[in-house]
């Protein structure tokens, strides 16, 4: 419901595509087709916009407190902080970061 109400304002960090691909290849998530086909189709279908990782995001990710060591999650957090966005997650470590607003 939350996604449907905000469908014009949905974004994903490009690092999430990397994570999906890795988890699919390790058998941790099942997709109806290979990630390189499924990801762009899913983004297009749901109207989700990709946010590339730039130097500003990378620098912010390296300067975050050592609360969370996962580099992918740190990039997601940095992206949200820089862009002033909320993160849709249940991850308790992400939710505990200062200056990070999460929903769900």
Instruction: Report residue 73's pLDDT band, with 50, 70 and 90 as the boundaries.
Output: very high
Checking if the pLDDT of 6 tops 80, the result is no
Checking if the pLDDT of 4 tops 80, the result is no
Q: Which two tokens stand for residue 17?
A: 């595509």
pLDDT value of position 3: 60
> For the chain, which residues make up each domain, given as ranges?
2-103
Superfamily covering domain 2-103: 5'-nuclease (3.40.50.1010)
Mention every residue, 6+ apart, whose C-beta is less than 8 A from residue 76: 13, 15, 16, 87, 94
């Amino acid at each position: 419901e939350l996604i449907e109400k905000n469908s014009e304002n949905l974004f994903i960090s490009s690092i999430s595509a990397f994570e999906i691909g890795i988890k699919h290849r390790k058998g941790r998530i099942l997709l109806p087709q290979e990630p390189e086909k499924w990801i762009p189709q899913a983004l297009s279908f749901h109207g989700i916009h990709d946010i590339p990782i730039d130097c500003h995001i990378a620098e912010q990710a390296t300067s975050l407190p050592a609360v969370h060591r996962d580099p992918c999650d740190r990039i997601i957090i940095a992206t949200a902080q820089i862009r002033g966005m909320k993160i849709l997650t249940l991850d308790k470590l992400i939710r505990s970061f200062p200056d990070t607003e999460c929903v769900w």
